[in-house]
Amino acid sequence: MKVKRIVFLLYITGLCLMFVYWYHGSGSLFSRQNTTAARKLKAILPKTTLPESSKSAKQIPRTTERKIKSIWKKSTLPEKSTSTKQIPWTTDNLKPQVLKSAKFEPGNQCAVNLSWPNGRDEWQILDNNITFVYSAFAVPLENQVKIMGIHRIRIRPKRHYVCWFYNDTQNVSQLQTNGTISLLHDHHGRTYGSMMVTCPLKDNYNWNAVAVSISVIDTPLNYMVLHYPEKQIKRNFTICLSVMHSKYSKVLELIETFEFDKALGANHFVLYHRSSAKQSNVVLNHYIKSGELTLLNYTLPIPPKGIHYFGQITAVNDCVYRSRGISRYVLVVDIDEILIPYQFNNWMSMMDNLTASNPNASAFMFRNTFFDTSMPDDIRRFRLGDKATRYKLKKFLKVWREDFIFGYCNRCKTLVMPEWIDKMAIHRTERIKGDHTPLRVNKSVALLHHYRRYGSSQARVFNAQTRKYSGIVVGRVIKTYEKLKPCVPDL
């Protein structure tokens, strides 16, 4: 008896499901919504049954075909929508939706040709496949010219090189035969390393250019504009950014770096350019036009693997010498680094205090710590948390630093007075002039924040020091991004 009841219930359930499917179905020709159309179509269609083969199939007359199309258009309804408003039938409803590509390509109106300074510097040959030179700087107080370049490490430099000086007509007016090469440290075992050529300058004549050759009988393969120190300080802080490479495309990180450094006291940026994405070029061009960025062409003449980090040490020394006489201080950092003063509101007030208590100091070393960007965003008790999240401002979102702080000369960065620096390394000064000395700044005064993936330890320390600048920086980033928005990727 129980079995019969179960079978009966299953039978009733099946009937109910069939009725529901028939009542709500929209794919069938004879569903509820198309019942009227079905009756009209039955009256028009031929009575004969058409075979499956198209060759023997009986054709429907054109007049009949037109009637069928008109009836079907009137009866076809759009798919169910959450809106109660009826959507009119159009042929667009039948078109498949094409998903937009995730890759961003700026339009033609966003095309940017990056501009280099007049009398631009570029890599040139000194000795074929052995030595290359990039830029030249006059040091009048020492009657010398310093030329930046790279040299093949395993080949000993020649004892003397020939330095040719040119006036404004490009005629050789003076010949010096005792230029020397000095190799810089931190080449990390690569094929090439950074170097300087030092040429004596025996008179006070303002030469326009200089060239270097390996002997008097050899024609120079290079010609470099000679840069002289500026005669008036126009900036307090110049930021030397590391070489931009690998088609750099982090637009928001770039804007955040510029605007944050400006809020702390930066007046100008010098950036060495190897490659960048189109959208990054839009941002770079914006700051070039505002006069806040000097962009230098830095396409190496050798494979990048042949030298440590795209010849960064040459770029660092070039930037320091380039800033003499025009900038009071020079800070060498990467795009993902920022120097945060803890006891002061900006860099100028911090440096006034440090120089007053240490008058012989001309290089200031700041320790480094990592803020792991793979950590979750933390916006608790942060008033601008929503905006920082929307615009991906990681210097305000990543507030858990590594418990470990690196020591001096190990990942630290140095802020210098350029006139007193003879040679620079990446994390320290290699040689300071006169009786000036480097100063090791205590971590309680300021700390270098480095934002990158770095999961070395489980111990973390909460550090939201950057947020005291959020009221200024967040608004500036948003304003700049919205101005450039038509030519940069959408959030």
Tell me: the pLDDT tens digits for 29-47?
A: 444 444 454 454 445 444 4
Task: Assess whether 366 and 433 both reside in one domain.
Answer: yes
Task: Assess whether 169 and 209 both reside in one domain.
Answer: yes
Residues 145-201: pLDDT tens digits?
A: 999 999 999 999 988 899 999 887 666 767 777 899 999 987 888 999 999 999 998
Residue 97 lies in a domain: no
Q: What is the pLDDT of residue 287?
A: 97
Residue 454 lies in a domain: yes
Q: What is the pLDDT of residue 24?
A: 54
Domain edge (last residue) among 208, 227, 246: 227
Task: Assess whether 239 and 221 both reside in one domain.
Answer: no
Q: What is the pLDDT of residue 48?
A: 40
Residue 405 lies in a domain: yes
Task: Assess whether 359 and 390 both reside in one domain.
Answer: yes
Task: Assess whether 223 and 246 both reside in one domain.
Answer: no
Instruction: Identify the CATH number of the domain in which residue 218 sits.
Output: 2.60.40
Task: Assess whether 182 and 280 both reside in one domain.
Answer: no
Q: What is the pLDDT of residue 23?
A: 56
Q: How many degrees, rounded to 5, is the angle at CA 135 between CA 134 and CA 136?
A: 140
Residues 418-458: pLDDT tens digits?
A: 999 999 998 899 999 999 999 999 999 999 999 998 876 77
Identify the bridge partners of residue 372 per DSSP, sorted by sequence position.
Answer: 452
Domain edge (last residue) among 199, 227, 255: 227
Residues 388-416: pLDDT tens digits?
A: 999 999 999 999 999 999 999 888 999 99
Task: Assess whether 201 and 315 both reside in one domain.
Answer: no
Whether pLDDT at 58 is above 90: no
Number of domains in the chain: 2
Residues 320-349: pLDDT tens digits?
A: 999 999 999 999 999 999 999 999 999 999
Do residues 136 and 227 make contact, with C-beta atoms less than 8 angstroms apart? yes
Residue 205 lies in a domain: yes
Residues 66-100: pLDDT tens digits?
A: 554 454 444 444 444 333 333 343 334 333 343 34
User: Whole domain around residue 471: which residue ranges?
Assistant: 235-487
Residues 92-139: pLDDT tens digits?
A: 433 334 334 445 555 566 878 887 787 679 999 999 889 999 999 999
Task: Assess whether 450 and 307 both reside in one domain.
Answer: yes
What's the whole-model pTM score?
Answer: 0.77
Task: Assess whether 361 and 414 both reside in one domain.
Answer: yes
Identify the bridge partners of residue 194 per DSSP, sorted by sequence position.
Answer: 150
Q: What is the pLDDT of residue 59?
A: 46
Residue 129 lies in a domain: yes
Amino acid at 304: P
* Cα torsion 261, 263, 265, 267: sign: positive
Q: In what order do the strands lie in the sheet with 235-244?
A: 293-297, 268-273, 235-244, 327-333, 413-416, 361-366, 437-440
Domain edge (last residue) among 203, 227, 251: 227
Hey, how many other C-beta atoms are within 10 angstroms of the C-beta on 281?
A: 22
Task: Assess whether 267 and 187 both reside in one domain.
Answer: no
Tokens of 340: 């945060």
Whether pLDDT at 319 is above 90: yes
Task: Assess whether 173 and 246 both reside in one domain.
Answer: no
Instruction: Identify the CATH number of the domain in which residue 282 sits.
Output: 3.90.550
Residue 483 lies in a domain: yes
Q: What is the pLDDT of residue 1?
A: 59
Task: Assess whether 479 and 332 both reside in one domain.
Answer: yes
The mean pLDDT of 240-266, rounded to a whole number, is 96
Whether pLDDT at 65 is above 60: no
Residue 88 lies in a domain: no
Residue 72 lies in a domain: no
Identify the bridge partners of residue 20 per DSSP, sorted by sequence position.
Answer: none
Spatial separation of the C-alpha atoms in residues 206 and 209, rounded to whole Å: 9
Q: How much is the mean pLDDT over the chain?
A: 83
